[in-house]
Structure 1
Amino acid sequence: MRLFYAVFLPEDVRRALAAAQEKVSRYKGWKAVPPHQLHLTLLFLGERPEEDLEDLIALGHRLGRRVPPFWATLKGTGYFPNEGTPRVWFAKAEGEGFGLLAQDLRDGVREVLGEEALQAEGERAFKPHITLARRKAPAPRVPPVVFGLTWPVEAFALVRSELRPKGPVYTILERFPLRGEHGRAEEKVSGERPEDH
Protein backbone atom coordinates (compact mmCIF):
# COMPACT_ATOMS: atom_id res chain seq x y z
CA MET A 1 0.00 0.00 0.00
CA ARG A 2 1.23 3.48 -0.88
CA LEU A 3 0.86 5.46 2.35
CA PHE A 4 1.40 8.92 3.79
CA TYR A 5 0.44 10.98 6.84
CA ALA A 6 -1.31 14.26 6.06
CA VAL A 7 -3.40 17.16 7.30
CA PHE A 8 -6.55 17.79 5.27
CA LEU A 9 -8.08 21.25 4.98
CA PRO A 10 -11.36 22.81 6.10
CA GLU A 11 -13.89 23.81 3.46
CA ASP A 12 -13.18 27.57 3.54
CA VAL A 13 -9.45 26.99 2.97
CA ARG A 14 -10.16 24.56 0.13
CA ARG A 15 -12.45 27.15 -1.50
CA ALA A 16 -9.74 29.82 -1.36
CA LEU A 17 -7.18 27.44 -2.86
CA ALA A 18 -9.60 26.32 -5.57
CA ALA A 19 -10.13 29.97 -6.54
CA ALA A 20 -6.35 30.37 -6.85
CA GLN A 21 -6.15 27.21 -8.98
CA GLU A 22 -8.31 28.91 -11.61
CA LYS A 23 -5.25 31.00 -12.48
CA VAL A 24 -3.45 27.93 -13.84
CA SER A 25 -6.51 26.24 -15.34
CA ARG A 26 -6.17 28.36 -18.49
CA TYR A 27 -2.73 26.86 -19.17
CA LYS A 28 -2.89 23.32 -20.54
CA GLY A 29 0.57 22.51 -19.22
CA TRP A 30 -0.56 22.68 -15.57
CA LYS A 31 -2.74 20.01 -13.96
CA ALA A 32 -4.52 21.22 -10.82
CA VAL A 33 -5.00 18.97 -7.80
CA PRO A 34 -8.76 18.32 -7.29
CA PRO A 35 -9.91 20.57 -4.40
CA HIS A 36 -11.21 17.64 -2.30
CA GLN A 37 -7.70 16.12 -2.41
CA LEU A 38 -5.83 19.23 -1.25
CA HIS A 39 -3.71 18.35 1.78
CA LEU A 40 -0.42 19.00 3.56
CA THR A 41 1.85 15.94 3.63
CA LEU A 42 3.56 15.37 6.98
CA LEU A 43 5.45 12.19 6.02
CA PHE A 44 5.43 10.16 2.79
CA LEU A 45 6.01 6.46 3.40
CA GLY A 46 5.72 5.07 -0.12
CA GLU A 47 4.87 1.40 -0.59
CA ARG A 48 4.46 -0.39 2.76
CA PRO A 49 3.27 -3.96 3.50
CA GLU A 50 -0.18 -4.31 5.04
CA GLU A 51 1.32 -5.72 8.25
CA ASP A 52 2.81 -2.25 8.98
CA LEU A 53 -0.67 -0.72 9.30
CA GLU A 54 -1.22 -1.60 12.95
CA ASP A 55 2.06 0.06 14.00
CA LEU A 56 1.45 3.13 11.82
CA ILE A 57 -2.06 3.62 13.22
CA ALA A 58 -0.86 3.13 16.81
CA LEU A 59 1.89 5.71 16.21
CA GLY A 60 -0.64 8.23 14.87
CA HIS A 61 -2.87 7.89 17.95
CA ARG A 62 0.13 8.12 20.27
CA LEU A 63 1.26 11.40 18.69
CA GLY A 64 -2.29 12.74 18.57
CA ARG A 65 -2.53 12.33 22.34
CA ARG A 66 0.75 14.20 22.76
CA VAL A 67 0.44 17.12 20.29
CA PRO A 68 -2.16 19.82 21.02
CA PRO A 69 -4.28 21.50 18.35
CA PHE A 70 -2.61 24.55 16.79
CA TRP A 71 -3.26 27.44 14.44
CA ALA A 72 -1.98 27.30 10.86
CA THR A 73 -1.62 30.14 8.38
CA LEU A 74 -1.77 29.93 4.62
CA LYS A 75 0.71 32.43 3.16
CA GLY A 76 1.39 32.87 -0.55
CA THR A 77 2.26 30.65 -3.50
CA GLY A 78 5.63 29.38 -4.67
CA TYR A 79 7.29 26.88 -6.99
CA PHE A 80 9.41 23.73 -6.67
CA PRO A 81 12.08 24.23 -7.83
CA ASN A 82 12.19 27.96 -7.28
CA GLU A 83 14.76 28.50 -10.05
CA GLY A 84 14.53 27.23 -13.61
CA THR A 85 11.59 25.20 -14.86
CA PRO A 86 9.03 24.61 -12.11
CA ARG A 87 7.43 21.20 -11.61
CA VAL A 88 5.04 22.06 -8.77
CA TRP A 89 2.99 25.14 -7.84
CA PHE A 90 2.17 25.21 -4.14
CA ALA A 91 0.78 27.28 -1.27
CA LYS A 92 3.08 27.88 1.69
CA ALA A 93 1.73 26.97 5.13
CA GLU A 94 2.99 27.90 8.59
CA GLY A 95 2.13 26.46 11.98
CA GLU A 96 4.24 25.38 14.94
CA GLY A 97 2.65 21.95 15.00
CA PHE A 98 3.52 20.99 11.40
CA GLY A 99 7.25 20.67 12.02
CA LEU A 100 6.68 18.99 15.37
CA LEU A 101 4.33 16.40 13.89
CA ALA A 102 6.57 15.76 10.89
CA GLN A 103 9.65 15.19 13.06
CA ASP A 104 7.78 13.06 15.62
CA LEU A 105 6.32 10.93 12.82
CA ARG A 106 9.76 10.49 11.25
CA ASP A 107 11.27 9.52 14.63
CA GLY A 108 8.35 7.22 15.44
CA VAL A 109 8.44 5.40 12.10
CA ARG A 110 12.20 4.95 12.45
CA GLU A 111 11.66 3.48 15.92
CA VAL A 112 8.86 1.04 15.08
CA LEU A 113 9.69 0.08 11.47
CA GLY A 114 13.37 0.91 11.10
CA GLU A 115 15.37 3.39 9.04
CA GLU A 116 14.51 1.72 5.72
CA ALA A 117 10.85 2.72 6.16
CA LEU A 118 11.91 6.34 5.59
CA GLN A 119 13.60 5.73 2.24
CA ALA A 120 10.62 7.05 0.26
CA GLU A 121 10.88 10.40 2.05
CA GLY A 122 14.56 10.81 1.26
CA GLU A 123 16.71 13.49 2.85
CA ARG A 124 14.57 16.48 1.90
CA ALA A 125 14.02 19.08 4.58
CA PHE A 126 10.38 19.32 5.63
CA LYS A 127 8.69 22.42 4.17
CA PRO A 128 4.98 22.62 4.99
CA HIS A 129 3.10 23.25 1.75
CA ILE A 130 -0.04 22.31 -0.15
CA THR A 131 0.49 21.25 -3.77
CA LEU A 132 -1.95 23.16 -5.99
CA ALA A 133 -0.86 21.99 -9.46
CA ARG A 134 1.78 19.95 -11.25
CA ARG A 135 3.39 20.90 -14.54
CA LYS A 136 2.78 18.25 -17.20
CA ALA A 137 3.91 20.18 -20.30
CA PRO A 138 5.48 23.55 -21.16
CA ALA A 139 3.53 26.27 -19.34
CA PRO A 140 4.31 29.72 -17.94
CA ARG A 141 4.54 30.66 -14.28
CA VAL A 142 1.48 32.38 -12.88
CA PRO A 143 1.69 35.55 -10.75
CA PRO A 144 1.94 35.00 -6.97
CA VAL A 145 -1.24 34.67 -4.93
CA VAL A 146 -1.36 35.87 -1.30
CA PHE A 147 -3.91 34.24 1.03
CA GLY A 148 -3.40 35.31 4.66
CA LEU A 149 -5.87 32.65 5.85
CA THR A 150 -5.71 31.09 9.32
CA TRP A 151 -7.37 27.87 10.42
CA PRO A 152 -7.25 25.45 13.38
CA VAL A 153 -5.46 22.14 12.83
CA GLU A 154 -7.20 19.60 15.04
CA ALA A 155 -6.36 16.25 13.44
CA PHE A 156 -4.14 14.47 10.95
CA ALA A 157 -4.64 11.22 9.05
CA LEU A 158 -2.99 8.12 7.64
CA VAL A 159 -3.85 7.98 3.94
CA ARG A 160 -3.66 5.35 1.23
CA SER A 161 -2.87 6.59 -2.27
CA GLU A 162 -3.84 4.43 -5.26
CA LEU A 163 -2.35 5.56 -8.55
CA ARG A 164 -4.88 5.53 -11.37
CA PRO A 165 -4.67 6.71 -15.02
CA LYS A 166 -6.78 9.81 -14.22
CA GLY A 167 -4.81 10.59 -11.07
CA PRO A 168 -4.37 9.27 -7.53
CA VAL A 169 -7.31 8.22 -5.37
CA TYR A 170 -6.90 8.94 -1.65
CA THR A 171 -8.55 6.91 1.10
CA ILE A 172 -8.27 8.04 4.72
CA LEU A 173 -7.49 4.89 6.70
CA GLU A 174 -7.52 6.52 10.15
CA ARG A 175 -7.91 10.01 11.63
CA PHE A 176 -5.93 11.09 14.68
CA PRO A 177 -7.42 13.95 16.76
CA LEU A 178 -4.86 16.29 18.29
CA ARG A 179 -5.47 16.39 22.04
CA GLY A 180 -2.18 17.45 23.58
CA GLU A 181 -0.83 16.34 26.95
CA HIS A 182 -4.03 17.24 28.78
CA GLY A 183 -6.37 15.17 26.64
CA ARG A 184 -9.94 16.43 26.58
CA ALA A 185 -9.14 19.15 29.09
CA GLU A 186 -7.14 20.86 26.33
CA GLU A 187 -9.45 23.60 25.01
CA LYS A 188 -9.60 23.66 21.27
CA VAL A 189 -8.55 26.64 19.23
CA SER A 190 -11.84 26.69 17.34
CA GLY A 191 -14.21 26.30 20.28
CA GLU A 192 -15.11 22.70 19.41
CA ARG A 193 -13.59 19.43 20.58
CA PRO A 194 -10.88 18.04 18.23
CA GLU A 195 -12.77 14.76 17.89
CA ASP A 196 -15.71 16.63 16.33
CA HIS A 197 -13.73 16.70 13.06
Structure 2
Amino acid sequence: MDKHYFIGIPMPSQIHSIATSKQEELQLRQFYKAIPYPEDLHITLLFIGGFPQEKLQPMQEVLKRISEHHDSFTLQITGVSSFGSNYTPRVIYLSVLNSDPLNSINRDIVEKACIFLDQSKKEKFVPHVTIAKKWKGIDGFNFQQQTFSPIGIEIDSFSLFEINPSRTPKYHPVETYELQQKGRPSQ
Protein backbone atom coordinates (compact mmCIF):
# COMPACT_ATOMS: atom_id res chain seq x y z
CA MET A 1 0.00 0.00 0.00
CA ASP A 2 1.30 3.43 -0.95
CA LYS A 3 2.12 5.98 1.71
CA HIS A 4 0.16 9.26 1.60
CA TYR A 5 1.74 12.68 1.11
CA PHE A 6 1.01 16.37 0.79
CA ILE A 7 3.03 19.51 0.07
CA GLY A 8 2.69 22.29 2.61
CA ILE A 9 4.16 25.19 4.52
CA PRO A 10 4.85 24.33 8.18
CA MET A 11 3.85 26.98 10.71
CA PRO A 12 6.42 28.55 13.06
CA SER A 13 6.13 28.22 16.85
CA GLN A 14 4.57 31.70 17.23
CA ILE A 15 1.52 30.34 15.36
CA HIS A 16 1.45 27.22 17.56
CA SER A 17 0.65 29.31 20.63
CA ILE A 18 -2.02 31.35 18.79
CA ALA A 19 -3.69 28.18 17.51
CA THR A 20 -3.65 26.54 20.95
CA SER A 21 -5.09 29.68 22.52
CA LYS A 22 -7.94 29.81 19.96
CA GLN A 23 -8.63 26.07 20.34
CA GLU A 24 -9.05 26.57 24.10
CA GLU A 25 -10.96 29.88 23.86
CA LEU A 26 -13.50 28.39 21.43
CA GLN A 27 -13.65 25.04 23.32
CA LEU A 28 -13.00 23.22 20.05
CA ARG A 29 -12.16 19.88 21.70
CA GLN A 30 -15.76 19.69 22.86
CA PHE A 31 -17.13 19.99 19.30
CA TYR A 32 -14.44 18.44 17.03
CA LYS A 33 -12.92 14.98 16.71
CA ALA A 34 -9.63 16.20 15.24
CA ILE A 35 -7.58 18.96 16.89
CA PRO A 36 -4.18 19.20 15.16
CA TYR A 37 -1.05 19.11 17.29
CA PRO A 38 0.96 22.33 17.15
CA GLU A 39 3.76 20.61 15.20
CA ASP A 40 1.23 19.53 12.54
CA LEU A 41 -0.03 23.06 11.76
CA HIS A 42 0.54 23.96 8.12
CA ILE A 43 -0.87 25.53 4.96
CA THR A 44 -1.59 22.81 2.39
CA LEU A 45 -0.30 23.68 -1.06
CA LEU A 46 -1.23 20.34 -2.68
CA PHE A 47 -2.69 17.11 -1.28
CA ILE A 48 -1.10 14.21 -3.14
CA GLY A 49 -2.63 11.18 -1.42
CA GLY A 50 -1.27 7.69 -2.09
CA PHE A 51 2.02 7.78 -3.94
CA PRO A 52 4.39 4.95 -5.00
CA GLN A 53 7.87 5.03 -3.45
CA GLU A 54 9.61 4.70 -6.84
CA LYS A 55 8.21 8.10 -7.88
CA LEU A 56 9.27 9.86 -4.68
CA GLN A 57 12.79 10.85 -5.81
CA PRO A 58 11.65 12.36 -9.14
CA MET A 59 8.92 14.28 -7.28
CA GLN A 60 11.51 15.65 -4.87
CA GLU A 61 13.60 16.87 -7.81
CA VAL A 62 10.57 18.70 -9.25
CA LEU A 63 9.92 20.38 -5.88
CA LYS A 64 13.58 21.39 -5.52
CA ARG A 65 13.49 23.11 -8.93
CA ILE A 66 10.30 24.94 -7.94
CA SER A 67 11.88 26.24 -4.72
CA GLU A 68 14.83 27.63 -6.69
CA HIS A 69 12.49 29.99 -8.56
CA HIS A 70 10.72 31.57 -5.59
CA ASP A 71 11.83 34.08 -2.97
CA SER A 72 11.04 33.94 0.73
CA PHE A 73 8.14 36.20 1.74
CA THR A 74 5.93 37.32 4.63
CA LEU A 75 2.41 36.02 5.24
CA GLN A 76 -0.23 37.58 7.46
CA ILE A 77 -2.45 35.57 9.82
CA THR A 78 -5.58 37.71 10.24
CA GLY A 79 -8.18 35.85 12.31
CA VAL A 80 -10.24 32.70 12.78
CA SER A 81 -12.80 31.52 10.23
CA SER A 82 -14.60 28.38 9.08
CA PHE A 83 -15.79 26.24 6.20
CA GLY A 84 -19.48 25.39 6.50
CA SER A 85 -22.33 26.91 8.50
CA ASN A 86 -21.76 28.73 11.80
CA TYR A 87 -23.72 26.03 13.66
CA THR A 88 -21.95 23.00 12.16
CA PRO A 89 -18.73 24.18 10.53
CA ARG A 90 -16.71 21.37 8.96
CA VAL A 91 -13.38 23.11 9.65
CA ILE A 92 -12.21 25.93 11.91
CA TYR A 93 -9.03 27.62 10.74
CA LEU A 94 -6.64 30.52 11.15
CA SER A 95 -7.23 32.90 8.24
CA VAL A 96 -4.31 33.68 5.97
CA LEU A 97 -4.28 36.87 3.93
CA ASN A 98 -3.90 35.84 0.31
CA SER A 99 -0.68 37.06 -1.31
CA ASP A 100 0.94 37.01 -4.75
CA PRO A 101 4.06 35.07 -3.61
CA LEU A 102 1.91 32.40 -1.94
CA ASN A 103 -0.36 32.10 -4.99
CA SER A 104 2.66 31.89 -7.29
CA ILE A 105 4.23 29.00 -5.35
CA ASN A 106 0.88 27.22 -5.16
CA ARG A 107 0.29 27.66 -8.90
CA ASP A 108 3.77 26.29 -9.77
CA ILE A 109 3.38 23.30 -7.47
CA VAL A 110 -0.10 22.47 -8.76
CA GLU A 111 0.89 22.85 -12.43
CA LYS A 112 4.16 20.93 -12.27
CA ALA A 113 3.24 18.32 -9.69
CA CYS A 114 -0.18 17.55 -11.21
CA ILE A 115 1.44 16.92 -14.60
CA PHE A 116 4.02 14.73 -12.89
CA LEU A 117 1.30 12.95 -10.89
CA ASP A 118 -0.97 12.65 -13.93
CA GLN A 119 -3.72 14.44 -11.98
CA SER A 120 -6.07 17.21 -13.02
CA LYS A 121 -5.83 20.63 -11.45
CA LYS A 122 -7.32 20.98 -7.98
CA GLU A 123 -10.08 23.24 -6.68
CA LYS A 124 -9.64 26.93 -5.86
CA PHE A 125 -6.79 27.59 -3.42
CA VAL A 126 -7.98 29.00 -0.07
CA PRO A 127 -4.89 29.39 2.15
CA HIS A 128 -5.64 28.51 5.77
CA VAL A 129 -4.24 26.78 8.87
CA THR A 130 -6.70 24.16 10.18
CA ILE A 131 -7.09 24.20 13.97
CA ALA A 132 -10.12 21.85 14.23
CA LYS A 133 -11.99 19.48 11.91
CA LYS A 134 -14.45 16.57 11.90
CA TRP A 135 -17.54 17.97 13.63
CA LYS A 136 -18.77 15.68 16.46
CA GLY A 137 -22.43 16.56 15.84
CA ILE A 138 -22.94 18.17 19.25
CA ASP A 139 -25.47 20.99 19.52
CA GLY A 140 -24.65 24.33 21.09
CA PHE A 141 -21.82 25.60 18.93
CA ASN A 142 -22.37 28.95 17.24
CA PHE A 143 -19.11 29.96 15.63
CA GLN A 144 -18.48 33.63 14.98
CA GLN A 145 -15.65 34.65 12.69
CA GLN A 146 -12.89 36.61 14.43
CA THR A 147 -10.41 39.10 13.07
CA PHE A 148 -7.33 40.38 14.83
CA SER A 149 -4.36 42.57 14.03
CA PRO A 150 -2.36 40.81 11.33
CA ILE A 151 0.48 38.64 12.58
CA GLY A 152 3.35 38.47 10.11
CA ILE A 153 5.25 35.22 9.65
CA GLU A 154 8.30 34.71 7.48
CA ILE A 155 7.96 31.92 4.93
CA ASP A 156 11.33 30.63 3.80
CA SER A 157 10.50 27.04 2.84
CA PHE A 158 7.87 24.45 2.04
CA SER A 159 7.96 20.70 2.67
CA LEU A 160 6.90 17.36 1.27
CA PHE A 161 5.11 15.65 4.18
CA GLU A 162 4.37 11.98 4.74
CA ILE A 163 1.09 11.34 6.59
CA ASN A 164 1.34 8.93 9.55
CA PRO A 165 -2.19 8.70 11.08
CA SER A 166 -1.10 6.48 13.99
CA ARG A 167 1.76 8.76 15.13
CA THR A 168 1.96 12.07 16.96
CA PRO A 169 2.69 14.41 15.26
CA LYS A 170 0.98 12.93 12.19
CA TYR A 171 2.92 14.79 9.52
CA HIS A 172 6.60 14.00 8.98
CA PRO A 173 8.62 16.22 6.60
CA VAL A 174 10.31 13.94 4.05
CA GLU A 175 12.23 16.90 2.64
CA THR A 176 12.16 20.66 3.12
CA TYR A 177 12.75 23.02 0.19
CA GLU A 178 14.36 26.35 0.98
CA LEU A 179 13.10 29.39 -0.89
CA GLN A 180 15.58 31.92 -2.22
CA GLN A 181 16.52 34.81 0.04
CA LYS A 182 15.60 38.07 -1.64
CA GLY A 183 18.60 39.45 -3.49
CA ARG A 184 20.45 36.11 -3.45
CA PRO A 185 20.74 34.36 -6.84
CA SER A 186 19.57 30.75 -7.09
CA GLN A 187 22.27 28.10 -6.95
Q: TM-score, normalised by structure 2?
A: 0.85
Question: Which residue of 1 is the match for residue 138 of structure 2?
Answer: 138
Q: How does 1:4-153 map to 2 (within 5 A)?
A: 4-25=6-27, 28-30=30-32, 31-82=34-85, 85-94=88-97, 95-115=99-119, 118=120, 123-134=122-133, 135-139=135-139, 140-147=141-148, 148-153=150-155
Percent of aligned positions that are identical? 22
Determine the C-alpha separation between the residues in 1 that align with 2:181 and 2:137: 44
Determine the C-alpha separation between the residues in 1 that align with 2:30 and 2:126: 27
SS at match of 1:86: coil
1:177 Cα shift?
Answer: 0.3
Unaligned runs of 5+ in 1: 187-197
Determine the C-alpha separation between the residues in 1 that align with 2:147 and 2:42: 18
SS at match of 1:77: strand
Q: Give structure 1 regions of 4+ aligned residues with deviation exceeding 6 angstroms.
A: none
1:123 Cα shift?
Answer: 4.1
Question: Which residue of 2 is the match for residue 191 of structure 1?
Answer: none
1:15 Cα shift?
Answer: 1.3
Is this contact kept in 2: 1:5–1:42, CA < 8 A?
Answer: yes
SS at match of 1:28: helix
Equivalent pairs counted in the alignment come to 179
1:13 Cα shift?
Answer: 1.9
1:10-43 CA distance string (max 9 Å, x none): 1112212221111233652224211111111000
Is this contact kept in 2: 1:67–1:181, CA < 8 A?
Answer: no
Question: Which residue of 2 is the match for residue 190 of structure 1?
Answer: none
* Aligned CA-pair RMSD: 2.4
